[in-house]
Structure 1
Amino acid sequence: MTTLGEKVVKVRSKNAGPFWVTVDIFCGDADRFAEVRQAITSDRVADLYKVPLDSLKRFDIAELSVIKFSFPRPVPQASPRDRDQHGAQYAVLLEELPLG
């Protein structure tokens, strides 16, 4: 089965301040954007990151062929329990998500 990471150009995650993480999916072109947009639901992403659906923000940016998700970090950045200060490892979960 194809994963999201195999289908798109890049999946990147980063801090969006000390309390939020943003994950960007760079689709590369309009056709792939439309395909991925349908395959990746907000429910699925909220479940993957174990965040309530109402705290997940989704931005579909057709002009750039990018889908962006933002959600609260499980712990604040640089707190003693923070295992990823830059928020970079969140992308891996989405990259490995099976499509179809």
Structure 2
Amino acid sequence: MASKRILKELKDLQKDPPSNCSAGPVAEDMFHWQATIMGPPDSPYAGGVFLVSIHFPPDYPFKPPKVSFKTRVYHPNINSNGSICLDILKEQWSPALTISKV
């Protein structure tokens, strides 16, 4: 189930990628992705390139992915380890959410 869902999300991302962002598997591991986020223009992050690590659990989408910044970023929702502190990545996760919505 998880592999099928992750593959579908990858195809959807490739077909309609979010602006200033790309993501995909690391090597051949569909459960470990790396994303690159370009800092939005007209923001304090403009010109920045931020690397994000995404680990999908075996019971995805019923459990949320673990998402963390590998590039140091100063943001109220990102702790010093790069972990993203958002309810939708914890108790508010829903299987209806996708990685592109995160």
More helix by share: 1
Greater relative contact order (Cα < 8 A, sep 6+): 1
What's the TM-score, normalizing by structure 2? 0.34
